[in-house]
Chain A
């Protein structure tokens, strides 16, 4: 491709990748690993949707179905969504955005990837040697006393990969504190950095709790210590408290980095400074803090005291405010902008729509009297997919497209990408919107068979999932195609602000030939000269 040396052609051979300390190469290692996990998790989802095409349990055996939804959940949550944006785009971009050569601890960064792979290996061992059927939530006493599937290897996989998250979070926090370029003050940082800073706090504070929880689960299952099983003197609700103490904040691990991406995309493709920078930055931290105080809304029907439920309900409403603030600010940024509907922008606008629906339906679930009816139904399934897929995944794909020229040195083909983004948006809505109705009608989640009156909605869902599947195959195909046939990318194809665009595409191993000096705020599009490509 180019005659100059960059991080991709600086060295060749398998060991130059497996022993690399370059954050950009480690990001590529993560990209390949999580894409594999996404495809695997997606295949499980496909089988689930095919089974649900008819009310009878005719395609998969009940046990198989239960294993498939469990493994879909475990793989997608712990091995795709949680690492996705931080470990790929965060890893690649945080040093570049702050004008650093690498993360603070490059070896630790490589170790994080190996730990992730080691954890994934345990979980994949569980998947391919019989599977696990507890649901990704591992509720006790089913998981410790009854299930006779591969619970321990799956749980250990989560335990191990958690350390990868903790170390990544630690690395990011130290890097953001210590390695910013001269002049890059806190309130000049791109909002992507603020979002990752908030995410890293959750990584560090939340992940140890899930590690302890799955360890206790493994101890009870293996040695019959009475911790959660009432037959052994334990408390099954204690498990739910511990599990959700991490797993609710984990949702914000998924959505916060995605919000960071949206701030980058909306500003770049409306060529305008972000509206309400400070409010968006602080709302990320507010979300990170509040996310730790709302876990009890998963226990409204567990027998938790009414008073506890009232407190958790009101706190859950509070977390909606900083999320709403972000949505309003992104919308206001468009005002008097110069909006270009490039593929990343279609993802960003799609994100705003889907996240709004996901967030508003979260209010339904925080409303105690209404939650009683739709708790554990498809309403909840629809809600969290709007957040985790409609939100987190749309942001991830938007980000991958936006920074693809920087990562690969090639442009992706614009029209297939626009079509792909539109197909994903439409397919997603057709898949998950009917599930809100199914849930309100009373269809419980995790049902292998269902009463025939729910069939129409399920057929719509499966049809949508098929479209969504095609939508995902498109970027997978053309992005790979572009590696060889895509146009050579200039340093700054979008005319974007941000230090990562001031270095060649792909960047040299050391990122910057000279350490950049920052003299202005983020997103100074108003004062920027006319981009070359116009």
Chain B
């Protein structure tokens, strides 16, 4: 009902109801204290108002330690309930379920570029299936943006130079606002798109490139990039891995110039200088762009930077490929692809 009155945004994710329940609690507590204080202020000031010409000698009341303690302790207790409730929900919002579908979103002035792992790409639209958790990995090509879907009650800044994540599980078919919530320059208010929640079957068809009626309703439909739609992100990453010559050094054999990447992701890596680092997305990204920042123990700092040669989306594709290597030995085709990549002119190919 609140939704119909325009007092509540649509509830279209599994957490939306939980956020609204917490909101209701906060409203009730605030309303209680607002009315208590307003009632006391108005009531007391009317009851003890000064009549014209009257002079009242007021009592000398210094205060009451018992009251002071009471109105310190009670608000403290109530705020701690708010804290724990909010913290619990926040941790939920920060921990995507393991079976979540992975989507990469790159912000730039002034659009959202979406990369589905299966290969489909779109701009200012994000198609997702109903009833399946979706983990969004965010970064930005330029300034800070913020990925905000009010109907899902989620928001996360997209920060250049690092990865942030958020997740949601849509519970209602439909189209919902996708806003940029961090001021990013001239067309900040135009950096809006929509999240389209589809029936899982329709979503699969959409992923395969079919545009079903109603599924891509909205102006952004044309923005879906069809050309490279066939190639998955991992396959794109594999191609890049070859083209950029990564495989030349990162071979899975002794004596290679670079460390093997098989089974790397999530592991602890020993570095020159005795420190260690966990091989997460940020570490992989840094190692591609600033290889000298963290050099793996036992290797020479000979890797050149790929800054300016790869886009944020290409880096995400490379990371996706490196993740796919798992514990398996490097694919036999990698070396072969490396020779293709020896043509420097190919490197800046826009995917």
Contacts and interface: CB of A to CB of B under 8 A. Distances in A.
Q: Do A and B bind each other?
A: yes
Interface of A: 57, 62-63, 66, 133, 135, 137, 139, 141-142, 145-147, 230-231, 233, 235-237, 270-273, 275-279, 300-303, 306, 309-310, 313-314, 317-318, 320-321, 324-325, 327-329, 331-332, 334-341, 349, 352-353, 356-357, 360-361, 363-364, 366-373, 375-377, 437, 440-442, 444-451, 453, 456, 525-527, 530-531, 534
Interface in B1-43: 6-9, 18-19, 22-23, 26, 29-30, 33-34, 37-38, 40-41
Given A142-B184, A335-B44, 19 more contacts: A137-B183, A146-B185, A147-B185, A233-B290, A236-B161, A272-B59, A275-B63, A327-B37, A328-B37, A334-B40, A334-B44, A338-B48, A357-B30, A368-B90, A369-B89, A369-B93, A373-B150, A444-B181, A526-B60
Interface core residue of A63, A321, A360, A448 (most chain B CB under 10 Å): A360
B9 A440 contact: yes
A331 B189 contact: no
A357 B189 contact: no
A308 to B, nearest CB: 12
Given A275-B61, A327-B37, A360-B30, A369 B18 contact: yes
Interface in B35-79: 37-38, 40-41, 44-46, 48-50, 53-64, 67-68, 71-72, 75-76, 79
A146 B155 contact: no
B294 interface: no
Given A276-B63, A325-B72, A337-B48, A230 B162 contact: yes
B58 A270 contact: yes
Nearest to A349: B41
Interface string B166-198: 000000000001011111111111101000000
7 contacts: A137-B183, A230-B160, A277-B62, A332-B63, A369-B87, A370-B86, A444-B189
Interface stretch (B138-146, B218-226, B317-325, B341-349): B138-146
Given A320-B79, A325-B72, A444-B148, A271 B142 contact: no
B75 A321 contact: yes
B156 interface: yes
Nearest to A355: B37
A464 to B, nearest CB: 18
Nearest to B67: A332
Interface residues of B, number: 88
Given A369-B87, A372-B90, A441-B150, A139 B58 contact: no
Contacts of B160: 141, 230-231, 236
B146 A376 contact: yes
A329 B156 CA distance: 40
Given A332-B67, A377-B181, A317 B61 contact: no
B44 A339 contact: yes
Interface of B: 6-9, 18-19, 22-23, 26, 29-30, 33-34, 37-38, 40-41, 44-46, 48-50, 53-64, 67-68, 71-72, 75-76, 79-80, 82-83, 85-94, 109, 142-144, 146, 148, 150-151, 153-157, 159-162, 164, 177, 179-190, 192, 290
A396 B146 CA distance: 36
B30 A313 contact: no
Contacts of B6: 441, 453, 456
B58 A338 contact: yes
B159 A447 contact: no
Contacts of B60: 273, 526-527
For the residues of A in contact with B, the DSSP-based class is helix
A320 B68 CA distance: 14
Nearest to B138: A303
Contact of A367 (B48, B85, B146): B85
A456 B56 CA distance: 49
Contact of A349 (B30, B45, B151, B188): B45
A15 B119 CA distance: 74
B159 A303 contact: yes
Nearest to A314: B83
Given A66-B185, A135-B183, A372 B93 contact: yes
Contacts of A313: 83, 86-87, 90
Contacts of B48: 270, 334-339
Interface core residue of B19, B85, B142, B150 (most chain A CB under 10 Å): B150
Contact of A334 (B34, B45, B80): B45
A356 B85 CA distance: 22
Contacts of B58: 270-273, 336-338, 525-526
